[in-house]
Structure 1
Amino acid sequence: MKIKFISFLLFFFLLIFQSYSQEKVIYDIKIKGAEKTKTTFIKKLLMSKKSGALDSITLNKDIIQLKRLPAIAHAYYQVFYSHDNFYNVFINVEENFTIIPDVNIWTTTNNVFSYKLGVYDYNFLGRNITFGGFYQFNGFDTYAVNFRAPNLFSSKWGLAVNHQNWKSEEPLYFGTQTANYLYNNISFEVLGLHQINFKNQLNFGVNLFKEKYQYLSGATDPSIPQNLDLNKALLKLVYTYDNLDYYYQYVNGFKSILYVQYVLTENDFQNDFFIFWNDFLYYKRIGANGNWANRLRFGLASNEETPFAPFALDNNLNLRGVGILVDRGTGSIVLNSEYRHTIYDKKWLSIQTNVFTDFGSWRNPGGNLDDFFQNENLKMYSGFGLRFISKKIYNATFRIDYGFSMLNRKNGSKCGIVFGIGQYF
């Protein structure tokens, strides 16, 4: 009996050893198709490593991670037998062109000829660094310089540094009256960037800025100063949960982005205030050519009765067709939903049509939460649009949407055309 028992144990341990010894191992990782992007940088990002276990789940995560980079239009992997239990892994990438000019021309409400000129490289030095800036003239001079390197220190840690001197004419609302002010924001921002794991990221830092308001035209009120010069500090936290998968212009999955800010200020007109908002995004592939896209945004801020409320109702931010900066509030609920359908798809160009509905509601400055349910605060716009998408240039989507009001047609805009670069969300 002892001999049979010992023989059984030997046989059992032999099976375990043989199973372990036959584990598939990565002999080498080779990167194919990378021209500007450094292959050493790509390998640094991969969770799959040379001499590590060959795991299809990990490789699939690596591919999704690469497709999230601005520099990569598409990626896939291949596995080839080398010898014994060793295998070569080939990572094949299709690169985007990432040096993008930023050019825009328009006229303001005062018929001022306005333009914006800039350039950004979204893969500076071939290491997933965004670097660039712009100059804008809209009757006033504006400029910005931006640097963002998510993997500057390691595959998990990075840094962002931004400087902006922004000027624009903006309407401010108090009661039923409106005034136009010259708004000037001069800011310096430093953020730490940390990728916690495959799906979770954290950005945090400080923004030191000066705000100036100068009265230009419109109604006046003794309680509203005509000139303000404010020094402020903003503490910022951004948490991102990202479970999106990309296939060229198609997106599938769920993403959540939480923005939390606390603004410190020393003046007699404004107090320190807190603001947060969360974007919930859900995308679903429908058939071979369809994509259903949704964004739900909910946000609240310190509820002070001020014309300088932080949430804006605007064409380019939330409701297509509503107009430019038509209202402000201390709370916001917005739902954007659209169906995108590809009608033309070639190697370098795709054309999509879309139909959409944008719904939103606001809390008035100093108001109550039931403001969200007041008829005058409810807005809904529906419409349709076109997308012209370059499959070889990062974020090169030219969009045009036409939206018309479905509620409160007697109050405010009934329709409008919105142009832009990139998908609306």
Structure 2
Amino acid sequence: MRKVLTVLVCCVAVFAAAQESGVVSLDFKGLKKTKEPFLRRLLKVKPGLEYDSVVVRKDIERLNRLPGFAIARDSVVFSPVGVKVYYILEENFTIIPGARIATANDGSFAYRLSAFEFNFLGNNQLLGAYYERNVFDSFGVFWEHPFLFSDQLGVGFNYQDITRQEPVFFEQGDKDYRFNSKQWEGKLIFSFDFNNEAELGALFVQERYSFDGLDPVPNTPAALNADKLFYRAAYRFIDLDIQYQYFDGFQSSFVGQYIHFLNGDSQAEVFLQDFVSLRNDFLWYKRVGKGGNWANRLRLAATIGNEESPFAPFTLDNQLNIRGVGNVVDRGTGAVVLNTEYRQTLYEKGWFVVQGNAFLDAGAWRDPGEPISQLFDGSNTRVHPGLGFRLIHKRIFNAVFRLDYGFGIGAGASNGIVFGIGQYF
């Protein structure tokens, strides 16, 4: 009897060891558009390696971040010969039209139409373009292949021709310029590991400011022409768990630019000199119960080298930082912005979700020529609480139609509706 028990114990031990010995196969279920060789190159679980549940979990998180998938799950089967791993995938529809509606600075109707493919050729390439009417016509075209050379290295290129009516705030008064910027950008895209991404790039930019008609603001330039070279670096730390419309975790996104003046007219040399631009977004999300999501963004921004120039790079704008404030209502050489909102799922059936939200947007700006202490003395602070709703398609990437209404607090504060595609942050 003792010998029989010994043999049984040994058999169980051998079977258990065989189960944990390694991954014998990795298969995908639900693939339609996404290419299987692309996924096998990208993911860390591979046949022949030791099975590790932590690595499987990280693969699933990475798949959930890819635009091509609405949701990813795993199924693991232990057998006497090893471990069989299955990734069960629901693909997104990734050809996304976009629309944005606003009021232009001259009071006319402004809009932006776009179309982007986020899983071009089934390997997570981005291809897209937009057209914008904002007093004048603008357009841009984009292509990115984050994994062109390997699972860690890719490239991106874009061209934009932007023409808008841009307010600039001089001490003598406000002045609306016709602003045109032609931009050519190329960049390298790095995915160092599961949590860390970076970009290095350069932009050649031709900037033109012009004013026609009688000048309402004396002693200010009527025109500026400059060619610039932007050196750009970006870094992202991502630790997010995404389940359809719900986010949980932390992300930090840094963008630094050195803007070098190449040549231009004499006025441009005075107002459009070299400077450094720094910005970091800290984002934190928390699932609350079954249908709630608390979302937060802290944005810190500053420039070095153009503290006196009225052509400051950071704008106070509905679509960028504070909902309900208006379109390009101020410019600054420094900013601190906090956006916090609670999102609650009100209705969900199949692919369709209705989500309500309550938010608070608050920010402070440093005006050109002012000390950094202006960010904290309350003299240039905006506070806008508000309410909104979202209509969400769970199986179309970033298919979130949002509408928010922000209420300004304080004397002279503005209120307003903000439309858009995608969550605000």
Structure 1 residues 173-193: Cα deviation after superposition (integer angstroms, max 9, x where no partner)? 112611111111101101100
Matches of 1:150 and 1:34 in 2, distance apart? 20
2:283 maps to 281
Q: C-alpha displacement at 1:345, in angstroms?
A: 1.0
Q: TM-score, normalised by structure 2?
A: 0.91
Q: 1:379 to 1:114 in 2, by over 3 A?
A: closer
Corresponding residue to 2:72 among 68, 72, 75: 75
Secondary structure of 1:375 counterpart: coil
Q: What residue identity is the alignment partner of 1:142?
A: S
Q: What residue identity is the alignment partner of 2:327?
A: I
1:420 maps to 420
Does the 8 A contact of 1:149 with 1:160 survive in 2? yes
Secondary structure of 1:317 counterpart: coil
Does the 8 A contact of 1:180 with 1:216 survive in 2? no
Structure 1 residues 153-197: Cα deviation after superposition (integer angstroms, max 9, x where no partner)? 111111010111111111111126111111111011011001111
Does the 8 A contact of 2:103 with 2:327 survive in 1? no
Matches of 2:379 and 2:216 in 1, distance apart? 22
Question: RMSD across aligned C-alpha pairs, in angstroms?
Answer: 1.9
> Structure with the greater relative contact order (CA < 8 A, sep ≥ 6): 1 or 2?
2
Q: Count matched residues.
A: 405
Q: 1:114 to 1:323 in 2, by over 3 A?
A: closer
Q: C-alpha displacement at 1:261, in angstroms?
A: 0.4
Q: What residue identity is the alignment partner of 2:248?
A: N
Corresponding residue to 1:305 among 308, 317, 324: 308
Matches of 2:92 and 2:18 in 1, distance apart? 41
Matches of 1:247 and 1:18 in 2, distance apart? 36
Structure 1 residues 189-235: Cα deviation after superposition (integer angstroms, max 9, x where no partner)? 0110011111111101111110111114663232x311111100000
Q: C-alpha displacement at 1:119, in angstroms?
A: 1.7
Quick check: 20-29 or 310-319, which moved more? 20-29
Matches of 2:15 and 2:385 in 1, distance apart? 64
Q: 1:99 to 1:321 in 2, by over 3 A?
A: same
Counterparts in 2 of 1:232-243, with a 5 A limit? 232-243=228-239
Q: C-alpha displacement at 1:18, in angstroms?
A: 10
Does the 8 A contact of 2:402 with 2:422 survive in 1? yes
Secondary structure of 2:379 counterpart: helix
Q: What residue identity is the alignment partner of 1:320?
A: R
Q: What residue identity is the alignment partner of 1:357?
A: L
Secondary structure of 1:405 counterpart: coil
Counterparts in 2 of 1:149-160, with a 5 A limit? 149-160=145-156
Q: C-alpha displacement at 1:21, in angstroms?
A: 6.3
1:33 maps to 30
Secondary structure of 1:58 counterpart: helix
Q: TM-score, normalised by structure 1?
A: 0.91
Structure 1 residues 33-70: Cα deviation after superposition (integer angstroms, max 9, x where no partner)? 11011111111111100111111100000000000011
Q: C-alpha displacement at 1:299, in angstroms?
A: 1.0
Q: C-alpha displacement at 1:364, in angstroms?
A: 1.2
Matches of 2:369 and 2:109 in 1, distance apart? 37
Unaligned runs of 5+ in 2: 1-12
Does the 8 A contact of 1:99 with 1:121 survive in 2? yes
Unaligned runs of 5+ in 1: 1-15
Q: What residue identity is the alignment partner of 2:298?
A: L
Secondary structure of 2:62 counterpart: helix
Establish whether residue 193 from structure 1 lines up as the match of residue 189 from structure 2: yes
